[in-house]
Amino acid sequence: MKLMGDEKVVQVKSEYDIVVARSVVRAIAKDMGFGLVDQTRIATAVSELARNIVMHAGEGVILVREILKGETWGIEILAIDNGPGISDIKLALSDGYSTKGSLGVGLGGAKRLMDEFEMESAPGQGTTIRVRKWLPK
């Protein structure tokens, strides 16, 4: 896996930044050649990741970069926070689970919209979520 070019970082501190984060990521996805449906899938997933940061950690960053695996290009997005962390990742990803009275499909939905989804978290150690989408050839 190669990292191509610079990465963009969006500070996420309030719900206004959610819109910024998804616009930045969408613009990059569009430049890379992702179609309208994929752009919307990616932007929606980022919206959920950013909202997760605001709701559960208060602040964090969304990091986006282009990656290359073999001959396939992809977009990788990391959502990093130093919040309280998640003790039960499987539960957090299950539909209908929400600790904050939201719809409770956020992270599980984001996972379904992307090709790859990884989550690292432990109580008191923050949360890092990595998602990827590969560019169809």
**Residue ranges binding other proteins (CB under 8 A):** 15-16, 18-19, 22, 26, 36-37, 39-41, 43-44, 47-48, 51, 95, 102-106, 108-110, 112-113
- Give me the least distance between CB of 19 and other proteins, in Å please: 4
Nearer to other proteins, 68 or 97 (CB): 97
Amino acid at 115: D
- For 79, the token pair is 């959502």
**Going by DSSP bridges, is the β-strand pair 72-81/116-121 parallel, antiparallel, or unpaired?**
unpaired
Nearer to other proteins, 4 or 115 (CB): 115
- Give me the least distance between CB of 39 and other proteins, in Å please: 8
Bridge partners of 72, per DSSP, are 69
Gap between the Cα atoms of 125 and 63, Å rounded = 18
DSSP conformation class of 61: E
Nearer to other proteins, 1 or 36 (CB): 36
- Give me the least distance between CB of 109 and other proteins, in Å please: 4
Nearer to other proteins, 43 or 80 (CB): 43
SS3 129: strand
State how far Cα 60 lies from the chain centre. 12
